[in-house]
Amino acid sequence: MDLVESGSVGGFFALRTAPPETGGAHRTLARLYAGEDGPLHARVDRVAARLGAPERRVGASVAHLGLAARLWSTALGPAALHGAFPDLDPAALHWDGALTSPDDLWWDGSATRPATVAELRTAVQEAHLVPLHAAFARDGRVSPRLLWGNAGSALAGALRELTCWALAHGRPEAAERAAALVSGLLEHPDLAGTVRGPRLRRASCCLYYRCPGGALCGDCVFDHPPRTGLEARPPAP
């Protein structure tokens, strides 16, 4: 398993195996999931302020989407490229919400898992996303549908980026493996229907469009920013 190669796919795929030289206030994600919510509150505050978000839940959604993308990408990249991925035990995965990739996460583990749908689901969805969603629920009013929509969108985004990289670097087998893994992951009830169609267009909205100057994301459910919020009817996928 070559984390350097998988990290070259893009910033979200990079996973440090030592603390960044610049330092940081990293804590294991296990501590966050156990109820130490201060760093998450600070992260949401920081994102909301940077975006000028009109509601705290908009900042929470964007912050969640970024962390979900990091978790999926750091597992899916090596799984697709090398047939194994790091065992991202929350007690071995350190996070500092004040930093950006690749400095936000570092892993001090050594164990790996085989690249199967079941292993990825256990390592990312069950070990991280489920307790992460609970942590965001403690932070404020964010619906489970929005969080799982973010998780599905983050997974689809990781697949798109990885596919482009693999095809550009003569690794079509990695693109095929990634597609098969993601297809299996999206069959789970929590993720089923979160993205639709061959373009994997999401079925919900992350709310980013509500920020001043915010636009629609590339996979947004809406064709145009709704005038009155999510009451607008979304287009067919």
pLDDT digits (tens, 9 = 90+) for 104-114: 999 999 999 99
Note if the bond before 102 is cis, omega within 30 degrees.
Answer: yes
- Quote the percentage of the chain above a pLDDT of 90: 70
pTM: 0.90
pLDDT for 237 beyond 80: no
pLDDT for 217 beyond 80: no
Tokens of 49: 């302020």
What's residue 200's pLDDT? 84
Residue closest to 73 by CA, chosen among 168, 180, 162: 162
Residue 128 is assigned to a structural domain of this protein: yes
pLDDT band at 232 (very low <50, low <70, confident <90, very high): very low
Least confident span in 32-46, 53-67, 195-209: 195-209
Residue 224 is assigned to a structural domain of this protein: no
pLDDT band at 236 (very low <50, low <70, confident <90, very high): very low
Domain count, the chain: 1
SS3 content of the chain, % helix, strand, coil (to 5): 50, 10, 40
Residue 135 is assigned to a structural domain of this protein: yes
Residue 50 is assigned to a structural domain of this protein: yes
Residue 226 is assigned to a structural domain of this protein: no
d(CA 109, CA 47): 29
Least confident span in 91-100, 134-143, 145-154: 134-143
pLDDT for 143-170, tens place per residue?
999 999 999 999 999 999 999 999 999 9
Domain that holds residue 193: 3-210
Tokens 């920013």 correspond to: 225
